[in-house]
């Protein structure tokens, strides 16, 4: 599991404000759900891109704070996070490509949250319907005596491994498209390598040919599960962010 062994004391270059950040003794990347856009639900590690807002009002990156000391205990505050409603302002006021990149990544995932809710409700309804169909075809035929004997249990429902999976319709809003296009431009800066994040952005924008070309340039060993899933979604011309198992 993730555990903390003390803290780093760090200062903000903008105004000299001091904050504490964790000194990890161990790191666990487990999460309850993984999504193709990089978002992790109930992650045991922070699931953002390091964007913070200093108490002086400036947007900063946590990794750019200046380390000053290591301590076992500290009453200093954590670097303040940025609420979703302030992400457009962070993008507008970004003083560097790195800061804009972090803000746009956070905004991309935030704007996908509404679809995540639709996706999960759709999957739950589909699973419930599949289970009901199975149970109707496999009625409980045990008699009263058999039901009392614990070792004679009714067969349990298991989803068929080849059962087709459907998705609710995904239509990126103008704001989503604008942000994803700008994010792609940042990621395609000279010297930046093509990765699965770019594949995902092309796909969510409906740019399936570009997504396929980008995927050919990405090594499958980086994330085999997502690499395979991306190929399937591109082939099926699916633009939606999707939940998967790594």
pLDDT of residue 148: 64
Q: Where are the beta strands (DSSP E) in 91-228?
A: none
pLDDT at 106: 98
What pLDDT does 43 receive? 82
Q: Could you report the per-residue pLDDT of 217-232, keeping only the tens digit for each? A: 997 777 899 999 999 9
For the cut 80, the answer to whether the pLDDT of residue 62 exceeds it is yes
Whether the pTM exceeds 0.85: the reply is yes
For residue 70, the surrounding DSSP H or E stretch is strand 66-71
Distances (CA, A) of 16 to 52, 55, 186: 15, 10, 29
In the predicted model, is pLDDT for residue 2 greater than 80?
Answer: no
Q: What is the pLDDT of residue 195?
A: 94
List of residues 6+ apart from 23 with CB closer than 8 A? 4, 5, 6, 7, 8, 70
CA distances (Å), 127 to each of 41, 114, 137, 160, in order? 20, 20, 16, 11
pLDDT in tens, 157-212: 676 666 777 889 999 999 999 999 999 999 998 877 889 999 999 999 999 999 99
Measured CA to CA, the distance from residue 5 to residue 22 in angstroms comes to 8
Other beta carbons within 10 angstroms of residue 165's beta carbon come to 10
Residues 6+ apart with CB under 8 A from 40: 29, 31, 33, 34, 47
The per-residue pLDDT for range 10-55, each reduced to its tens digit, is 999 999 999 999 998 887 777 889 999 999 998 877 889 999 999 9
Contact call for residues 28 and 44 (beta carbons, < 8 A): yes
- For residues 207 and 172, the answer to whether their CB atoms sit within 8 Å is no
pLDDT of residue 228: 94
CA distances from 40 to 106, 186, 244 (A): 12, 22, 10
Nearby residues of 157 by Cβ (< 8 Å), 6 or more positions away = 131, 134, 135, 138
Which of 177, 175, 224 has the alpha carbon at shortest distance from 196? 224
80-106: pLDDT as tens digits: 999 999 999 999 999 999 999 999 999
Distance CA 200, CA 192 (A): 16
The pLDDT tens digits of the residues spanning 102-150 come to 999 999 999 999 999 999 999 888 888 877 777 777 777 676 666 666 5
Tell me, what's the pLDDT at 1? 63
Q: From CA 51, how far away is CA 104, in angstroms rounded?
A: 10
């Amino acid at each position: 599991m993730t555990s903390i062994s003390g803290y780093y004391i760090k200062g903000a270059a903008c105004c000299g404000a001091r904050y504490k950040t964790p000194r990890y003794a161990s790191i666990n990347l487990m999460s309850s759900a993984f999504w193709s856009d990089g978002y992790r639900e109930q992650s045991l590690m922070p699931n953002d891109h390091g964007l913070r807002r200093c108490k002086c009002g400036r947007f900063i990156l946590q990794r750019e704070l200046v380390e000053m000391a290591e301590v076992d205990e500290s009453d200093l505050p954590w670097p303040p996070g940025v609420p979703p409603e302030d992400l457009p302002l962070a993008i507008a006021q970004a003083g560097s490509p790195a800061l804009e990149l972090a803000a746009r990544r956070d905004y991309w995932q935030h704007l996908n949250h509404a679809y995540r809710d639709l996706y999960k409700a759709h999957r739950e309804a589909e699973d419930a319907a599949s289970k009901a169909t199975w149970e109707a075809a496999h009625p409980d035929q045990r008699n009263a005596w058999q039901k009392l004997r614990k070792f004679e249990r009714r067969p349990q429902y298991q989803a068929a491994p080849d059962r087709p999976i459907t998705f609710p319709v995904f239509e990126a809003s103008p704001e989503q498209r604008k942000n994803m296009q700008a994010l792609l431009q940042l990621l395609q800066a000279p010297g930046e390598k093509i990765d699965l994040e770019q594949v995902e952005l092309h796909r969510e924008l409906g740019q399936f040919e570009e997504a396929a070309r980008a995927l050919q340039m990405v090594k499958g060993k980086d994330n085999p599960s997502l690499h395979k899933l991306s190929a399937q979604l591109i082939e099926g011309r699916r633009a939606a962010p999707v939940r998967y198992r790594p």
